[in-house]
Structure 1
């Protein structure tokens, strides 16, 4: 051991050890990056794996809700057995139901079942009322015409109901849409991705418009699992059915395709939608005098005439009563004098 330690004092041994340490350090410097691997590539792979995992989770969630599953309710079974979707086919029913917020096979089966059953129900109610309750003096032609009208009203009632529901939902969405674009612009300029921006805005806008929050939530899910992200924007435009939303979705799709800045597009679209909302309010205000004409004629003018002419009519009646009473008094006075 002493001899081994004594060998380090020799210049040749010390130089050999220094050369060995230098060679070892050089080798480690050269080969260590290859041993560590590419951290960036590893992280990107981890992100891709996590993204695929999230996609599978979203797909599983959607499949559990099953927008395409078969309706197993009684109405669905009847519609399926009678093949009402083919017999009473309406090409716009799916589009209208998406705009009304009714998704899945259940509402479609209920729509076709109602379209089949309501004509018979309407015709039966009108027939019972006309022939057994009160015929209003109708002739035979008018009686059967009323029955046909009841059947036609029952046939078109589901379409009218769905259209009104879609219009109300669209109005609720458009009241909050410009403000949601401003919030989305803030999120994007803060560094968030478009998915995170939609998710954040859907959470914040839910109190003002639950319908818009639902649509943004659907868009976030579709951005996660659809192979073409532009399809998610197109689906959002179809579900809302408004020109302002279509323009915004088109701008987002172009930004996704050509790589243009999202902030500029969102800022311009938010301004245009605010101006559109203001122009709609101005149109309603301009149409208000014409719409108030008939109610004023029916309800305001009769009351005004009653208030203005009522006292004059009462005064005229009092004067007439005095004039009628005066001759009776004059006739009674001479007869008393003669007596």
Structure 2
């Protein structure tokens, strides 16, 4: 009973939350150093992607298909057996899989059947696990005196909220990845234009730019490497361009890929198309910077009112108040 009282006490819960907050702060500051140390290994894995794609294409030519219905090459990821068994036993693909799930995972950088199986399993296991944990905590620790159906009702509400957690995490990863690609895309176009005007083919241009842009955006380097492999193996080059636009999900990338498809189809100058798109990319980045600069004064209004003006008033009025108060005390 002492342990139950300790776990349900306010001081214990406050201590746990404080420890979690401190751990989150330490992890936030430490993750930046970890990401920097892992960047070189990630770039090496991206460089090996083309060799993996070559092996998969050779397997496809021998009879093992590794292309999806849209012609995009997918990596075969290994998942744990229990995840596969759960997905197959409960038919989670019919329940959670739709037409855009694979593309959403690709936008977040997760490709292959392994990542798809893991995502479907997490969508099923997260609400179930949260329901069990919350039920046990409420029934045996937090509210043992309350009716059972009320605790179960709270647990069901927590499970419903937790069911959105995999989609929220996937959306967060997609936004971060798209932000990295969007930031490095204008520089990528400039480098690609230089490579094309130097006489390189599109395959060699993509390969060279992928190596150079990796220090700025690993996600973009990975996508360019995959596009290089698809340009070498797919029957139609337009499929590789379309797959790049679909994997990134960015309008500016899709517009550039559309221009490359038209240049390849009608025989127009690829360098001219890239030059026009590069100029538009630089103008768009400048417009976004001006937009952020213009939105800064309204954003600073609330912090100034809440934090700066009260302190300013205190500094200005405090001497007068102190003087008036001292004179009042002397008069009495």
Deviations, residues 81-139 of structure 1 (Å, cap 9, x unaligned) = 3222222234432111111111112222222222112223444555566666667xx99
- TM-score normalised per structure 1: 0.69
Show the counterpart of 1:209.
217
Q: Does the Cα contact within 8 Å between 2:79 and 2:118 map onto a contact in 1?
A: no
Show the counterpart of 1:200.
208
Shift of 1:150: 1.9
Task: Give the 5 Å matches for 1:178-193.
Answer: 178-193=186-201
Q: Does the Cα contact within 8 Å between 1:100 and 1:162 map onto a contact in 2?
A: yes
Distance 1:214 1:56, change over 3 A: closer
Shift of 1:209: 0.9
What is the rounded CA distance, in whole Å, between the counterparts of 2:149 and 2:90 in structure 1? Answer: 33
Query: Which residue of 287, 293, 305 maps to 2:301?
Result: 293
1:280 aligns with 2:278: no
Shift of 1:270: 0.5
Task: Give the 5 Å matches for 1:81-120.
Answer: 81-120=89-128
Task: Give the 5 Å matches for 1:215-226.
Answer: 215-226=223-234
What is the rounded CA distance, in whole Å, between the counterparts of 2:154 and 2:110 in structure 1? Answer: 32
Distance 1:301 1:84, change over 3 A: farther
Shift of 1:266: 0.4
1:263 aligns with 2:271: yes
Query: Once superposed, what is the RMSD of the aligned Cα atoms?
Result: 3.2
1:242 aligns with 2:242: no
Q: Does the Cα contact within 8 Å between 1:115 and 1:154 map onto a contact in 2?
A: no
1:59 aligns with 2:57: yes
Q: Does the Cα contact within 8 Å between 1:58 and 1:224 map onto a contact in 2?
A: no
Structure 1: unaligned runs, 5 residues or longer: 1-53, 327-339
- TM-score normalised per structure 2: 0.70
Query: Which residue of 159, 162, 166 maps to 1:158?
Result: 166
Deviations, residues 248-270 of structure 1 (Å, cap 9, x unaligned) = 00010011111111010000010
Q: Does the Cα contact within 8 Å between 1:222 and 1:232 map onto a contact in 2?
A: yes
What is the rounded CA distance, in whole Å, between the counterparts of 1:222 and 1:103 in structure 2? Answer: 14
Shift of 1:58: 5.9
State the aligned residue count: 268
Q: Does the Cα contact within 8 Å between 2:206 and 2:224 map onto a contact in 1?
A: yes
Distance 1:259 1:127, change over 3 A: same
What is the rounded CA distance, in whole Å, between the counterparts of 1:73 and 1:59 in structure 2? Answer: 26
Q: Which is worse superposed, 100-109 or 303-312?
A: 303-312
